[in-house]
A and B are shown apart, each in its own frame.
Chain A
């Protein structure tokens, strides 16, 4: 599996920057992880700075709410801190962290399931031309809401693949799935997303 590369240096400046996935493997990140294993909170702080944006956005895609995303992102980092002694480096740190965040989101949604209505696995075909009605911020809001209504696996796959630009292999590892299943889920997610937004315009 290809590991996503992460940018250096680990500093406050990275908080506003997306991950540099083309960078070489980072010695500083490995050192930070080793320091975390020794209980050095400052080292974990550098990892938080590096990844907080990605984790927050991942959570936001799931729950479509700032406050919930904030809580889930912090919870994901806390779980990562508690479990970092068990991180063996078999996957990249980002993949491992994403898996923690995804699980936190799945648990959150499972607890709130009565208030969220997921789509069936497939939807009816849309009315032609309805998509043209969506514009600007309102469209973005509606798309986010539609993504949040996709079936669980489809939503997770779409978020990780499209918005976080992970490889199929990375998504499969995070979701404990196969590459073929990831691709199929992505295909169905895209089709369902289009149908859902089209159906809203009827």
Chain B
């Protein structure tokens, strides 16, 4: 006695196909033949259930609704086109800042707080540091910026306040690196 036909092959038999060896087995095996018959009966039942046809006007209404909803939102590829150059510039500046910072980094651990006369805020108060940390771990594949991932997605999630803080911080850091 050969092995019973596996389920995936029984589906082929139920649909009228299948391998010759499987058909031959099912022809002489009551168990497999019964299972094929059951699947065929289920297939016949399934085909009796058509979907009720909506009104002919429905399709036009759906088309209009989809069009209206699409018109209410910007296109995905063009949602924030200004972010691409902005994000690229921010990343470039951030790389410069990090590189410059590493070059001149003191060997001793930095103080937890800055002197009162410092132009920069204390680390605990500087939201831009978190932003820069986010940039450092963001997807570096700049070619994917237009797909809304990586840095673009990160920048897009910034609040206006955080965005201004980032820009101000980078501007100050750039001025400090030049002096």
Contacts and interface: CB of A to CB of B under 8 A. Distances in A.
Given A183-B9, A190-B14, 19 more contacts: A12-B60, A15-B59, A48-B63, A52-B66, A70-B62, A77-B70, A78-B66, A78-B73, A81-B70, A140-B49, A140-B50, A144-B51, A147-B46, A187-B8, A187-B10, A190-B41, A190-B42, A191-B39, A193-B45
Given A45-B63, A52-B59, A144-B49, A83 B76 contact: yes
Interface class of chain A by DSSP = helix
Interface string B145-176: 01100000000000000000000000000000
Interface of B: 6-12, 14, 35, 38-43, 45-52, 54, 56, 59-60, 62-63, 65-67, 69-71, 73, 75-78, 146-147
B85 to A, nearest CB: 18
B175 to A, nearest CB: 38
A73 B62 contact: yes
B39 A190 contact: yes
A143 B48 contact: yes
A194 B70 contact: no
Contacts of A16: 56, 59
A41 B71 contact: yes
Centre residue among A60, A186, A188, A189 by max chain B CB count within 10 A: A186
B19 to A, nearest CB: 12
Q: In which size bucket is the chain A interface?
A: 35 or more
A147 B51 CA distance: 12
Given A84-B76, A197-B45, A190 B38 contact: yes
From B12, B52, B56, B62, residue with most partner A Cβ within 10 Å: B62
A180 B76 contact: no
A86 B147 contact: yes
Given A45-B67, A139-B48, A187 B39 contact: yes
A188 B63 contact: no
Contacts of A147: 46, 49
B162 to A, nearest CB: 25
Interface string A78-96: 1001111110000000000
Contacts of A61: 51
A131 B45 contact: yes
A56 B62 contact: yes
Contacts of B10: 187
Contacts of A15: 59-60, 63
10 contacts: A12-B60, A52-B62, A66-B54, A84-B76, A85-B146, A162-B46, A189-B42, A190-B41, A191-B39, A193-B45
